[in-house]
Structure 1
């Protein structure tokens, strides 16, 4: 369990709705579908209704600071099956990068690699009390695109399994990378989101991680999660 899993979920029943992609930049084809992830009848470009509204607010804040810049949506809603696919894919990639074969790993070696995978990826849990953030429809992975249509260099790619993914990794070096990460944080905080402490690109509103982070910064006014795992049909 992660610390935020202790936060109770009081599901509000808000629908999952389509993100108006014309207001944002989008990576095409979708990065996980390109790898073979099957979303089935679902789409990765859906979020809970209030999350979409807040994401639009963040885009508007960005435009005020940097006209012509856009939030680029990398990933949003993610069924648990896709979460499982990406966890397995990341484990296989880690083996390939090290020239290792799963069958030849010692228990300790295997545990070390899984630990690295789960530094980035949430457990693909089917337990209703511990849903992966993206499976609630309240988490979104994003970056920035400048007024020339170029993806802003944040110092590391989304989903990289290294310390460079930590939001403040460049706080004492590569000032530009840190400034861009801070810009992304500022516009998202202003729109009500919270950032994953270990991933510069991951933001959420209304899930357990969001509530846990809100409570860390404002313990006198605790909140609960309003979104659990999405199980209904898309609207």
Structure 2
């Protein structure tokens, strides 16, 4: 498994295509979870190409199922704070080696210099029914925050048949639209960032920090 802390990710060059951030709420068939915006007011935005691919993915969903986006773009300042907080949590649990801290933290929070969310290239999302009720995915989005790490990987063992089917729907539709999953987090999908470029063998990323 390649983590975002792997030097191979940072070594991918970026040739930003210059696409602006676009409002996810502008696509009526996609739900956006309510929350307070960060200081940049941009959690509900992604690059225009990412939003178009999300729209395409939504068209592949079964009838009566929609995407619920939890978060898109994230500021570099907020990303750095989240990474530092998770390192502190690991440090309190006994992880003291700096390299090990960085590696373990990156399983759930990207180092800011390669963070797909900061590039407007990533989406944290789940599935809901026509009434907006979240489907059984076998674990919550950001389950690592509540100590539920074992169900966070996309291919986590021990899932119910229903949860496995729902994750398969998510993977089939997002993958079909060109997104890649970060395998430690079933809810995290990205397109155009350094991680995406590495997994797909692309020469460079098309999105850098936005």
TM superposition score category, shorter chain reference: 0.7 to 0.9
After TM superposition, give the deviation of residue 223 of structure 1 in Å.
3.9
Which residue in the other structure is 1:229 paired with? 209
Which residue in the other structure is 2:44 paired with? 45
Which residue in the other structure is 2:20 paired with? 15
| Change in CA separation of 1:187 and 1:52 when aligned onto 2, cut-off 3 Å | same
Which residue in the other structure is 2:192 paired with? 206
Query: Which has the higher mean CA deviation after the structures are superposed, 134-143 or 193-202?
Result: 193-202
State whether residues 214 and 223 of structure 1, in contact with CA within 8 Å, keep that contact through their aligned partners in structure 2: no
Measure, in 1, the Cα distance between the counterparts of 2:105 and 2:183: 16
After TM superposition, give the deviation of residue 192 of structure 1 in Å.
1.3
Measure, in 2, the Cα distance between the counterparts of 1:114 and 1:78: 20
| Change in CA separation of 1:75 and 1:106 when aligned onto 2, cut-off 3 Å | closer
Q: For the pair shown, which has the larger CA radius of gyration, 1 or 2?
A: 1
After TM superposition, give the deviation of residue 115 of structure 1 in Å.
4.9
Note the residue ranges of structure 1 that are not aligned, 5 or more in a row: 34-38, 126-130, 216-221, 231-235
| Change in CA separation of 1:116 and 1:163 when aligned onto 2, cut-off 3 Å | farther
Specify which of 162, 184, 195 is matched with residue 170 of structure 2. 184
Measure, in 2, the Cα distance between the counterparts of 1:163 and 1:107: 18
Which residue in the other structure is 1:138 paired with? 121
State whether residues 30 and 67 of structure 2, in contact with CA within 8 Å, keep that contact through their aligned partners in structure 1: yes
| Structure 1 residue ranges, 4+ long, deviating more than 4 angstroms after superposition | 109-115
Cα-Cα RMSD: 2.5
Instruction: Write out per-residue CA displacement over residues 199-234 of structure 1, whole angstroms, 9 at most, x where no aligned residue.
Output: 11111111111111112xxxxxx442111111xxxx
Which residue in the other structure is 1:219 paired with? none
Alignment of 1:153-192 (within 5 A): 153-161=136-144, 162-170=149-157, 173-192=159-178
After TM superposition, give the deviation of residue 179 of structure 1 in Å.
1.4
Which residue in the other structure is 2:81 paired with? 85
State whether residues 72 and 142 of structure 1, in contact with CA within 8 Å, keep that contact through their aligned partners in structure 2: yes
> Does structure 1 residue 71 correspond to structure 2 residue 67?
yes
Measure, in 2, the Cα distance between the counterparts of 1:57 and 1:107: 42
Measure, in 2, the Cα distance between the counterparts of 1:106 and 1:169: 25
Q: TM-score, normalised by structure 1?
A: 0.75
Q: TM-score, normalised by structure 2?
A: 0.83
Measure, in 2, the Cα distance between the counterparts of 1:107 and 1:53: 41
**SS at 1:121 equivalent:** coil
Measure, in 1, the Cα distance between the counterparts of 2:34 and 2:154: 25
Measure, in 2, the Cα distance between the counterparts of 1:173 and 1:107: 29
